[in-house]
Amino acid sequence: MSKKIQKRNAEASKALIITHAITLFSEKGYAFASMDALAKRSGLNKAMVFYYFKNKKGLYAAVMHKILIQIQSAVLEENKQHSAPREELEGFVRTYARFACKHPYLPSLLLRELSDNGAIVPEVLFTSMKQLFVLFSSILKKGEDRGCFVHTAPMILYFMVLGTLNLMITTKTLRIQAHQEDSEIDTFASGNIDEIVDYIVEEMLRMLVVPNKGDNQ
Amino acid sequence: MSKKIQKRNAEASKALIITHAITLFSEKGYAFASMDALAKRSGLNKAMVFYYFKNKKGLYAAVMHKILIQIQSAVLEENKQHSAPREELEGFVRTYARFACKHPYLPSLLLRELSDNGAIVPEVLFTSMKQLFVLFSSILKKGEDRGCFVHTAPMILYFMVLGTLNLMITTKTLRIQAHQEDSEIDTFASGNIDEIVDYIVEEMLRMLVVPNKGDNQ
DNA sequence: ACTATAATTAACTTATTGGTTAGTTAATAA
DNA sequence: TTATTAACTAACCAATAAGTTAATTATAGT
């Protein structure tokens, strides 16, 4: 039969808390996200938060873990569909970008953590970022080995991609506003995420592709 | 004669507060920077902070204003020494990078603000970022006009530069740590700021320079 | 039906913090 | 010398927030 509607359901409550915590943390940042507010949003008693997650930090760690696992598996999964370095690279950028755009908490939480030596939950953040980086480097490496990419410093390119995407996404409203105030300056205000990715990928390839070997996918 | 050492000195006190506020804010972030702690660090009475800056937000605005003016004028000033687009571009990147590296509060404060819709002081941040962007675009534009740069979306390149630099700088300790834990992965841990700039400029030029017109400075 | 336990709640505690205020002392100009 | 003002201080206040606790209710296994 259909699941009966329970008045008590640990998993559901936990999920409810996490869901609202994600938006709350990304809206307000860690410090300004109050657990009272979270309880109110979730429609649960504040004590439940501590019951399930021990303390604020624990909850935050759970939140970060969840979204990092999500982005990680999204990118890793997508990557399986390709084998040519150029496609892999484009897939990496686009998947990350689309995900980040659909879940705008990702860039803001990520930038905040990164700008702060992984202030609140270093380990969680770290392992995830590392895994993505390993994939990214392996794509570049494969390209090099096949002779279609020139040699580069993967860490710098990685941050180039992430930095650009995250900033473009988080500053979207800012850029639109700036363009309205002064239409002279081109803030790429109209660009949607796929156009941005097109641009970035184009630039990346211009950096990477070995001259006169462009067709060597 | 020499200035007599005064027991009371508005300007000195103000400066003292700002100086310590800069480090405090960048260490702890806006929310976790307490005014009690600031007063203690500055060796002044807490009330002085409010006496001079009205409230915490006002102080923060003053802090941001100061550092943004600094970076802005550093870059603008340096730019006067060049006229060839390629040199101008390199100068822009290097001056920003060196400054940010010498004053590591800049990247962390900047990223935090940017990742948050200019959370705390939108206007101040905004005008400064805009001015730097205008300079950056004008460099690219000049390059295009002279036929040595290809056409690009300046906003994206701008964030590419700032994103990469700020991330590389703020994650320095993180990267060193990661490399120590697993020496397999190349986190560019050893790279100093000038090497990083070399790399970035090299990549930027590979993106920008019109093929077979590379010498056309 | 009974019991053990997991889920839930209201009320409370404790600490911190941004900000105020009323009063005090140093400098300065008449 | 004195009056005025600007710089400075100690003590205080109200609000908020993280975290606790002791009691209560639903649920599931026996």
User: What value does the mean pLDDT take over residues A146-151?
Assistant: 94
Q: Can you tell me which residue has the tokens 């979730």? A: A42
Residues of B in contact with A163 (CB under 8 A): 159-160, 162-164, 166-167
CATH number of the structural domain spanning residue A112: 1.10.357.10
pLDDT at A2: 36
CB A173 to CB B117 under 8 A? yes
pLDDT at A5: 61
In whole angstroms, give the CA distance from residue A1 to residue B124.
Answer: 60
User: What value does the mean pLDDT take over residues B158-168?
Assistant: 96
For residue A87, name the pLDDT band (cuts at 50, 70, 90). Answer: very high
* Same structural domain, A28 and A131: no
Structure-model confidence comparison of residues A123 and A72, the more confident one: A72
Range of the structural domain that residue A77 is part of: 64-208
Mean pLDDT of chain A: 90
Beta strands in chain A (DSSP E): none
Percent of chain A with pLDDT over 70: 93
Q: Is the pLDDT of residue A23 over 80?
A: yes
pLDDT at A109: 86
Q: Does residue A7 lie within 7 Å of nucleic acid chain D, judged by its CB?
A: yes
For residue B125, name the pLDDT band (cuts at 50, 70, 90). Answer: confident
pLDDT at A212: 61
Q: Is the pLDDT of residue B212 over 80?
A: no
Dump pLDDT digits (tens) for B174-201: 899 889 988 988 999 988 999 999 999 9
User: What value does the mean pLDDT take over residues B65-84?
Assistant: 96
Q: Does residue A46 lie within 7 Å of nucleic acid chain D, judged by its CB?
A: yes
The structural domain count of chain A equals 2
B216 within domain boundaries: no
For residue A69, name the pLDDT band (cuts at 50, 70, 90). Answer: very high
Chain D nucleotides close to protein (CB under 7 A) are: 6-11, 16-22, 26-28
* Same structural domain, A21 and A88: no
Q: Is the pLDDT of residue A101 over 60?
A: yes
* Same structural domain, B75 and B20: no
**For the range A40-48, what are the long-range contacts, defined as Cβ-Cβ under 8 Å and sequence gap of 24 or more?**
A42/A13, A42/A16, A42/A17, A43/A16, A44/A13, A44/A16, A44/A17, A48/A13, A48/A17
In whole angstroms, give the CA distance from residue B119 to residue B51.
Answer: 24
In order of A35, A77, B19, B60, B201, the CA distances from B51 in angstroms are 33, 57, 16, 14, 46
User: What value does the mean pLDDT take over residues A50-68?
Assistant: 96
Query: Please, which residues have CB within 8 angstroms of residue B185's CB and are 6 or more apart in sequence?
Result: A130, A133, A134, A137, B178, B179
For residue B116, name the pLDDT band (cuts at 50, 70, 90). Answer: low
pLDDT at A24: 95
* Same structural domain, A88 and A24: no
* Same structural domain, B93 and B40: no
For residue B2, name the pLDDT band (cuts at 50, 70, 90). Answer: very low
Query: Please, which residues have CB within 8 angstroms of residue B100's CB and are 6 or more apart in sequence?
Result: B71, B106, B107, B165, B166, B169
Q: Does residue A61 lie within 7 Å of nucleic acid chain D, judged by its CB?
A: no
* Same structural domain, A82 and A181: yes
Strand, coil or helix: B152: coil
CATH number of the structural domain spanning residue B28: 1.10.10.60
Range scoring the smallest mean pLDDT among B13-27, B49-63, B115-129, B157-171: B115-129
pLDDT at B195: 96
Output the six-digit token pair for B176.
């060193």
* Same structural domain, A17 and A71: no
Dump pLDDT digits (tens) for A158-207: 999 999 999 999 989 889 988 998 898 899 998 899 999 999 999 999 99
User: What value does the mean pLDDT take over residues A37-63?
Assistant: 97
Within 10 Å of residue A178's Cβ, how many Cβ atoms? 19
Q: Is the pLDDT of residue B104 over 50?
A: yes
A77 within domain boundaries: yes
Query: Please, which residues have CB within 8 angstroms of residue B46's CB and are 6 or more apart in sequence?
Result: B35, B36, B38, B39
B217 within domain boundaries: no
User: What value does the mean pLDDT take over residues B63-79?
Assistant: 95
CB A116 to CB B29 under 8 A? yes
pLDDT at B190: 87
Query: Rg of chain A over CA atoms, in angstroms?
Result: 20
Percent of chain A with pLDDT over 90: 71
* Same structural domain, B48 and B96: no
